[in-house]
Amino acid sequence: MMFNKIDLSIATSDQIEGLLCGQLRKIRLTRNFTQTRLAQESGVAIGTIRRLEDGKGVSLNTFIRILMALGLQQNLGALLPDPSIRPIERVNTGGSERKRARLKRSEPVASPWAWGDESGDKK
């Protein structure tokens, strides 16, 4: 998937963060919000707005608050797919929802050699 000339399937987390921060800055300017106004409406410090726009880390809560102040919270649903839409998995689990993750069963792995284990030595 290409988003603003970055292939998200091979991009690093830093590249994606920079892209998102740049997009938020452009949206802020398009909506004619100053950094001060966005800080006031989102309830975060202006330094946090500057840090975000510079592509530096902010908390998820801060990111969400800024999206809400810009009226973009409806876009949050597109970030993650709906986990309940997995018909084949429902068939495999008898119609119930998964409550925990499990490791796949595999052949037992031979334990590594340890000191005092001379059973494999040839003399």
pLDDT, tens only, 51-93? 999 988 899 999 999 999 999 999 888 888 777 766 666 666 6
CATH 3.40.50.720 matches 2-78? no
pLDDT > 90 in the chain, percent: 42
Backbone angles phi, psi at 82, to 5 degrees: -70, 115
Res. 99: pLDDT tops 80: no
Residue-level pLDDT at 8: 85
Please report, for the chain, the start and end positions of each structural domain, with discontinuous segments joined by +: 2-78
Q: Which residue has the higher pLDDT, 117 or 48?
A: 48
Both tokens of residue 1? 């998937």
**Residue 26: pLDDT band with limits 50, 70, 90:** very high
Q: What is the mean pLDDT of the chain?
A: 82
Query: Six-digit token pair at 95?
Result: 């119609």
- Asked if the model's pLDDT at residue 98 lies above 70, the reply is no
**Would you list the DSSP string of 44-78?**
S-HHHHHHHHTT----HHHHHHHHHHTT-GGGGGG
With H, G, I as helix, E, B as strand and everything else as coil, classify residue 96: coil
